């Protein structure tokens, strides 16, 4: 059975995207060879990406592009080869390679995917999916990169969750550029 991991950049004030959905801030900052190596080593590390429609459209518009290949060739190559599942009620076709559209009940579908997809799935962005699947108790690991900046406003990953979810820290790692990786599992 594969695990379901959330991997997101967040700001010190807890936002994963700006008010307008922008998350370019997560890819700026001082150059850090250790951080760059970490990103390259983890991009496309196997498994399947699980994405909401908005995150999918942003990523599908960038990663297959010549700009992505020029800016980060290793990540672009790996992420383009990965299998991707996009959750959408409105998309009829996928423009990005290796993409399947999921239109049914999210919770039921993810329960099936967790049994059939090896070694697992990772959610990038997709705050609505993170909130729904957290509430359903289906997320096995949360990996957050806290970026050293304050947005002041934006979207949180857990908007709309009715109850409390306790987590336990399983690992952490600080980088020279000020990013801090925090990995949690459900308590």
User: pTM for the full model?
Assistant: 0.92
The total number of structural domains in the chain stands at: 1
* Residue 27 per-residue DSSP state: G
Q: Write down the pLDDT at residue 57.
A: 93
Structure confidence by residue, pLDDT tens digits, 16-62: 998 888 888 887 766 788 988 888 787 766 789 999 999 999 999 99
| Helix intervals (H) in the chain | 33-42, 53-62, 66-71, 73-81, 106-116, 127-135
pLDDT by 10s per residue, the chain, length 187: 789 999 999 999 999 998 888 888 887 766 788 988 888 787 766 789 999 999 999 999 999 999 999 988 988 999 999 999 999 999 999 999 999 999 989 999 999 999 988 888 999 989 999 999 999 999 999 999 999 999 999 999 998 898 899 999 999 999 999 999 999 999 9
CATH code where residue 88 lies: 3.40.430.10
Give the count of beta carbons closer than 10 Å to the beta carbon of residue 26.
18
Q: Write down the pLDDT at residue 87.
A: 95
**What's the first-to-final CA gap in the chain, in angstroms?**
20
CA 150, 69, 39, 165 dihedral sign is positive
Q: Which residue segment(s) compose the domain that 132 sits in?
A: 3-186
């Amino acid at each position: 059975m594969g695990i379901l991991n959330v991997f997101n950049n967040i700001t010190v004030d807890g936002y994963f995207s700006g008010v307008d959905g922008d998350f370019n801030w997560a890819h700026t900052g001082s150059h850090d060879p250790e951080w760059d190596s970490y990103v390259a080593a983890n991009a496309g590390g196997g498994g399947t990406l699980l994405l909401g429609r908005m995150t999918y459209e942003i990523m599908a518009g960038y990663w297959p592009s010549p700009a992505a290949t020029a800016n980060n060739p290793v990540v672009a190559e790996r992420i383009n080869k990965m299998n991707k599942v996009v959750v959408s009620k409105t998309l009829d076709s996928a423009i990005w390679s290796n993409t399947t559209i999921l239109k049914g009940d999210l919770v039921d579908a993810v329960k099936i995917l967790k049994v059939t997809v090896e070694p697992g799935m990772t959610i990038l962005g997709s705050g609505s999916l993170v909130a729904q699947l957290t509430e359903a108790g289906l997320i096995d690991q949360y990996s957050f990169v806290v970026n050293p900046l304050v947005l002041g406003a934006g979207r949180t990953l857990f908007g709309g969750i009715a109850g409390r979810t306790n987590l336990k820290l399983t690992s952490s790692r600080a980088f020279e550029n000020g990013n801090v990786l925090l990995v949690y599992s459900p308590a």
